[in-house]
């Protein structure tokens, strides 16, 4: 029997004997394996490849041919999903070719075609209008078989019938109901329910061609049953006349044709760096957490290993036995984590897809999953390295005599402080460089923080010994605990480093996100009074259509204060948007920075929240009223109007400054007469409301049902964008820190059992025994949390100034200083609450019974 086989058998027997410790290690190693394998499997399952989606794309047809908007030659990918217009050398002025089923059939040289058209329309549901997808085509035709899977009823047979998908049925629409669609409320009877297996979350209606979409200018596609399969050369021939093709023969081909891929799906260097950084952090945290648990096993097996050594086992063989623990438990973690991950992804994918994601068949990326499994095995082996070295250094004679001190650990040096200090300094320097050179990218800072973490891990034994100098000033239970922690500082440093890494990540993320929110609030400059809404048309609209919209809004919102605003049009009748110009360092010639509101004194009073006679008089005299003095250029406001074709018209308007409804409010109000003098035409096309819709999307959809050109904008202020990742990060740090601390405390209790029994033998109360163990847990968690706080604050500050470069509102320059904000309650919960909680849990669950033991001289 080889030494490795024997070591594996010993490790398997030991893991079954101590099931609690083994389960803890399996969870620590297996949880990252489960999470990453599930993410990879779920991502691949929620990604529908062209081959997987072939039936829902083509049905039983040989190809699906679609007309592009330009009608110019294109270049496409294999599936016809991505395409780009080929430089036509002046063909942009050519009238797009009009395709019909007959002309396309002639171009193909025969075959059979059925029309398909897709769009989005409004449907009147119980809560108002909702945008839903529409597929127009005769799905009863054999060519369309499989395009949608009928689960109830039948497909539409007449112009006033439709079928719907299950998500639309979930809103309360039932078989036999009449559903009103489009803004003209065309009634259609629901005669069937059909699902799209690859888009199970889509609300969709299926109707016959022309039954709902009356606009014949919309792009059309056809399912084609061709006389011969369309090969890549045929696809390129159709691309040359502006047609996009999904061909069954091309998609099912074993090898894709050359020069057919337009998109580069390879991982970018930034993505690879993010993955590498996350892998390093996860492996390091796993090793730091599982290391003390392996050390617990070493304490309990110390006598067994000493007996094996006394019978002639070498130090290398003792190392092999302990490393076999990592291999066995890591293997169990992988064998449990991978199937659970695949099963969990398979069960969760349909629920995720109901929220709008695509759904394909279960697809396991075995290369990535096996890589994660290998990572789990490596984590288990690395976590067992330090205990293996300690096992090889122990003295069999001392262990068998009952004196359990470890020569190797007693004489252990205080870590590698020089290496740790160098890594910390390098990490801090790289962090500072990342702030100034990254231009808002957080990846360099996160990578630099890895150096800081590694340096603090190397420094942790020295820091534990340094903090141990507090022991003489502490009460007896705490003094005993701290001295024991310092004496076994390899064990203590490992657990404290795990707490440190988790705390540092949580604090850095919390400070970065909280500071970004504070910076966002400080820099925010509203253009409207907070809580108000503006309704406008994004395309030219005639007076009659605008009157219908205005009347509908007034009918819907009786008693709401509303004021009309105006838009301007150029000589071609196209809407143009005037902007006020600011002059900053990055644009010395002036930049168009914000929209100008056009109206009379009523609009001015609405924007100011009060009546200002002086400002109203200035507006009546043709002056602009601005709500931010920085917009003034002397006593004038510079206005920039850009028309279609990038024709620019810049002019100056005399201006005065006034206070808006909000002290930070910016913007300007200009009389329409000013633009009339400049050659533009003004027309009422905006409506300002003292109203904040509870559901802005629903409010806008209801307006779109009246006229599809309507859009809305509601001023909600800077908002309170709570990031769910922050409480998750602090919660995870609390769990990881508590787990690592309790593992180290269990190890300490095992080491100190005879000392604790001696305390009890000389008359110490049971609470003293509890206090000693509780103080051990509090010291480990407190040391890690304090060091993690320092590292997290440095990284969080760097993230704050880096992310602040990406925050800009209105005319606010992106180089404004950031606002630093530390989330006090979550940080206190980690730095103060974690040590107290760890001490409480350790003290409550400590065994107080003692057994006198005979010691050998």
CA distance 473 to 262: 70
- Minimal CA–CA distance to 555: which of 452, 706, 679? 706
- H or E, element range at 649: strand 648-657
CA distance 262 to 259: 8
pLDDT at 589: 61
pLDDT at 813: 40
Decide if pLDDT at 86 tops 90. no
8 vs 70: which has the higher pLDDT: 8
109 vs 262: which has the higher pLDDT: 109
User: Could you give the angle at the alpha carbon of 82 between the alpha carbons of 197 and 202, nearest 5°?
Assistant: 25
pLDDT at 58: 93
pLDDT digits (tens, 9 = 90+) for 558-570: 888 999 999 888 8
CA distance 274 to 417: 28
pLDDT digits (tens, 9 = 90+) for 722-731: 566 667 767 7
User: Could you give the angle at the alpha carbon of 466 between the alpha carbons of 462 and 472, nearest 5°?
Assistant: 145
Mean pLDDT, residues 19-41 taken together: 84
Mean pLDDT, residues 600-624 taken together: 92
CA distance 550 to 541: 12
143 vs 806: which has the higher pLDDT: 143
Give SS3 for 851: coil
Decide if pLDDT at 222 tops 90. yes
- Give the least confident one: 181-195, 207-221, 605-619, 671-685: 207-221
Asked whether the beta carbons of 91 and 85 are under 8 A apart, the reply is no
CA distance 125 to 472: 74
pLDDT at 593: 65
Decide if pLDDT at 234 tops 70. yes
User: Could you give the angle at the alpha carbon of 71 between the alpha carbons of 69 and 74, nearest 5°?
Assistant: 100
pLDDT band at 120 (very low <50, low <70, confident <90, very high): confident
Half-sphere exposure of 201 (CA within 13 A, CB side): 13
pLDDT at 91: 46
Decide if pLDDT at 840 tops 60. yes
pLDDT band at 216 (very low <50, low <70, confident <90, very high): low
Give SS3 for 68: coil
Q: 785: which 2 tokens?
A: 């949390």
- Minimal CA–CA distance to 581: which of 528, 521, 624? 624
pLDDT band at 136 (very low <50, low <70, confident <90, very high): very high
Give SS3 for 440: coil
Backbone angles phi, psi at 360, to 5 degrees: -115, -175
178-181/204-207 β-pairing: unpaired
pLDDT digits (tens, 9 = 90+) for 803-839: 776 554 444 444 467 788 888 888 888 889 889 988 8
User: What DSSP line would sit under 509-555, residue for residue?
Assistant: HHHHHHHHHHHHHHH---SS-TT-EEEEESS---HHHHHHHHHHHHH
Q: 538: which 2 tokens?
A: 């994004």
Residues ≥6 apart with Cβ < 8 Å to 110: 226, 227
Decide if pLDDT at 333 tops 50. yes
Mean pLDDT, residues 655-664 taken together: 89
DSSP 97: P
Percentage with pLDDT > 90 across the chain: 24
pLDDT at 533: 93
Across 203-217, 320-334, 693-707, the highest mean pLDDT is recorded for 320-334
**Helices 725-751 and 19-45: angle between axes, nearest 10 degrees:** 160
CA distance 598 to 674: 9
pLDDT band at 411 (very low <50, low <70, confident <90, very high): very low
- Minimal CA–CA distance to 750: which of 488, 378, 493? 488
Asked whether the beta carbons of 137 and 117 are under 8 A apart, the reply is yes
Asked whether the beta carbons of 768 and 846 are under 8 A apart, the reply is no
Q: How far is CA 652 from the centre of its chain?
A: 45
CA distance 350 to 724: 23
pLDDT at 237: 92
Asked whether the beta carbons of 148 and 195 are under 8 A apart, the reply is yes
User: What DSSP line would sit under 805-823, residue for residue?
Assistant: GG---TT--TTSPP-----
- Give the least confident one: 156-165, 352-361, 665-674: 352-361
Across 5-19, 258-272, 487-501, 686-700, the highest mean pLDDT is recorded for 686-700
pLDDT at 811: 40
Asked whether the beta carbons of 308 and 9 are under 8 A apart, the reply is no
Across 118-122, 188-192, 256-260, 838-842, the highest mean pLDDT is recorded for 188-192
Beta bridge partners of 581: 592
Decide if pLDDT at 476 tops 80. yes
CA distance 723 to 506: 13
User: What DSSP line would sit under 675-743, residue for residue?
Assistant: HHHTT-EEEEEEEEES---SSHHHHHHHHHHH-TTEEEEE---S-----THHHHHHHHHHHHHHHHHHH
178-181/74-76 β-pairing: unpaired
User: Could you give the angle at the alpha carbon of 568 between the alpha carbons of 563 and 570, nearest 5°?
Assistant: 170
pLDDT at 812: 41
**Helices 489-523 and 443-467: angle between axes, nearest 10 degrees:** 140
pLDDT at 808: 47
Decide if pLDDT at 625 tops 90. yes
pLDDT at 697: 81
Across 643-657, 780-794, 808-822, the highest mean pLDDT is recorded for 780-794
Mean pLDDT, residues 82-94 taken together: 64
pLDDT band at 343 (very low <50, low <70, confident <90, very high): very high
CA distance 773 to 115: 77
Decide if pLDDT at 192 tops 90. yes
pLDDT at 586: 53
Mean pLDDT, residues 484-508 taken together: 84
pLDDT at 723: 60
Whole-number CA gyration radius for the chain: 36
Decide if pLDDT at 150 tops 90. yes
Q: How far is CA 166 from the centre of its chain?
A: 28
User: Could you give the angle at the alpha carbon of 157 between the alpha carbons of 151 and 160, nearest 5°?
Assistant: 105
pLDDT band at 474 (very low <50, low <70, confident <90, very high): confident
pLDDT band at 412 (very low <50, low <70, confident <90, very high): very low
Asked whether the beta carbons of 525 and 665 are under 8 A apart, the reply is yes
Decide if pLDDT at 441 tops 90. no
Asked whether the beta carbons of 658 and 626 are under 8 A apart, the reply is yes
**Beta carbons within 10 angstroms of residue 837's beta carbon:** 18
CA distance 382 to 376: 10
- What's the predicted TM-score (pTM) here? 0.72
- Minimal CA–CA distance to 715: which of 534, 537, 550, 554? 534
Q: How many residues does the chain have?
A: 857
Give SS3 for 296: helix
pLDDT band at 95 (very low <50, low <70, confident <90, very high): low
Decide if pLDDT at 90 tops 50. no
């Amino acid at each position: 029997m080889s030494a490795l086989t024997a070591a594996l058998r010993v490790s398997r027997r030991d893991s079954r004997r101590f099931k609690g410790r083994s389960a803890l290690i399996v969870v620590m190693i297996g949880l990252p394996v489960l999470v990453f394998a599930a993410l990879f499997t779920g991502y691949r399952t929620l990604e529908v490849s062209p081959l997987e989606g072939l039936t829902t794309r083509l049905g039983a047809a040989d190809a699906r041919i679609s007309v592009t908007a330009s009608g110019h030659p294109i270049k496409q990918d294999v599936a016809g999903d991505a395409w780009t217009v080929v430089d036509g050398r002046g063909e942009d002025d050519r009238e797009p070719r009009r395709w019909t089923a007959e002309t396309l059939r002639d171009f193909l040289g025969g075959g059979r075609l059925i029309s398909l058209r897709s769009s989005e329309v409004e449907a009147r549901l119980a809560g108002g209008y909702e945008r839903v997808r529409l597929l127009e085509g005769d799905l009863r035709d054999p060519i369309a078989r499989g395009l949608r899977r009928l689960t109830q009823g039948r497909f539409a047979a007449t112009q006033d019938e439709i079928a719907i998908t299950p998500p639309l049925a979930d809103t309360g629409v039932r078989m036999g109901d009449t559903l009103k669609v489009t803004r003209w409320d065309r009634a259609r009877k629901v005669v069937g329910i059909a699902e799209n297996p690859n888009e199970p979350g889509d609300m969709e209606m299926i109707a016959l061609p022309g039954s709902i979409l009356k606009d014949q200018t919309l792009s059309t596609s056809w399912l084609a049953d061709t006389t011969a399969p369309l090969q890549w050369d045929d696809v390129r021939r159709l691309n040359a006349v502006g047609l996009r093709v999904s061909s069954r023969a091309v998609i099912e081909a074993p090898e894709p044709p050359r020069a057919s891929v337009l998109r580069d799906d390879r991982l970018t260097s930034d993505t690879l760096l993010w993955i590498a950084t996350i892998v390093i952090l996860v492996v390091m945290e796993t090793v730091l957490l599982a290391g003390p648990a392996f050390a617990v096993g070493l304490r309990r097996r110390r006598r067994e290993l000493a007996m094996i050594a006394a019978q002639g086992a070498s130090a290398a063989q003792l190392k092999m036995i302990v490393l076999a623990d990592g291999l066995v438990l890591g293997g169990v973690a992988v064998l449990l984590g991978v199937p659970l991950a695949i099963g969990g992804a398979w069960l969760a994918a349909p629920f995720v897809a109901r929220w709008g994601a695509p759904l394909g068949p279960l697809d396991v990326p075995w290369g990535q999953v096996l890589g994660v499994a290998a990572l789990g095995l490596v984590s288990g082996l690395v976590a067992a390295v330090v205990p293996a070295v300690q096992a090889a250094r122990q003295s069999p004679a001392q262990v068998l005599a009952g004196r359990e001190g470890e020569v190797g650990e007693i004489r252990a040096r205080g870590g590698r402080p020089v290496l740790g200090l160098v890594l910390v300094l390098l990490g801090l320097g790289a962090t500072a460089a990342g702030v100034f050179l990254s231009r808002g990218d957080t990846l360099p800072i996160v990578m630099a923080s890895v150096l800081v973490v590694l340096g603090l891990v190397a420094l942790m034994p020295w820091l534990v010994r340094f903090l141990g100098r507090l022991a003489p000033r502490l009460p007896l239970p705490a003094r005993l605990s701290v001295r024991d922690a310092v004496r076994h500082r390899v064990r203590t440093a490992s657990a404290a480093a795990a707490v440190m890494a988790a705390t540092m990540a949580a604090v850095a993320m919390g400070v970065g996100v909280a500071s970004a929110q504070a910076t966002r609030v400080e820099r925010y400059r509203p253009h409207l009074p907070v809580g108000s809404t503006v309704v406008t048309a994004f395309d030219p609209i005639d007076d009659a259509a605008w009157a219908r919209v205005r009347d509908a809004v007034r009918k819907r919102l009786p008693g709401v204060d509303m004021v009309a605003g105006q838009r301007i049009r150029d000589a071609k009748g196209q809407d143009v948007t005037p902007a006020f110009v600011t002059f900053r360092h990055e644009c010395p010639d002036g930049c168009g920075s914000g929209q100008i509101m056009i109206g009379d004194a009523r609009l001015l009073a609405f924007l100011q929240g009060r009546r200002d006679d002086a400002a109203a008089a200035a507006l009546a005299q043709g002056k602009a009223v601005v709500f931010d003095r920085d917009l003034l250029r002397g006593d004038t406001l510079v206005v920039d109007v850009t028309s279609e074709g990038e024709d620019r018209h810049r002019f100056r308007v005399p201006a005065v400054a006034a206070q808006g409804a909000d002290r930070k409010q910016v913007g300007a109000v200009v009389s329409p007469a000013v633009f009339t003098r400049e050659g533009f035409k003004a027309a009422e096309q905006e409506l300002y409301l003292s109203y904040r819709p509870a559901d802005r999307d629903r409010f806008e959809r209801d307006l779109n049902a009246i006229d599809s050109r309507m859009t809305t904008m509601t001023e909600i202020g800077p908002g309170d964008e709570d990031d769910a990742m922050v409480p998750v990060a602090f919660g995870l740090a609390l769990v990881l820190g508590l787990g690592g601390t309790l593992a180290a405390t269990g190890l300490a209790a095992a080491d100190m059992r005879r000392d604790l029994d001696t305390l009890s033998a000389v008359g110490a109360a049971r609470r003293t025994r509890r206090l000693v163990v509780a103080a051990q847990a509090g010291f480990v968690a407190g040391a890690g949390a304090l060091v993690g706080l320092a590292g997290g604050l440095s990284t969080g500050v760097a993230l704050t100034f880096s992310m602040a470069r990406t925050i800009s509102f209105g005319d606010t320059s992106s180089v404004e200083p950031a606002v630093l904000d530390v989330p006090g309650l979550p940080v206190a919960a980690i730095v103060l609450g974690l040590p107290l909680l760890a001490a409480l849990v350790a003290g409550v669950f400590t065994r107080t019974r003692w057994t006198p033991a005979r010691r050998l001289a």
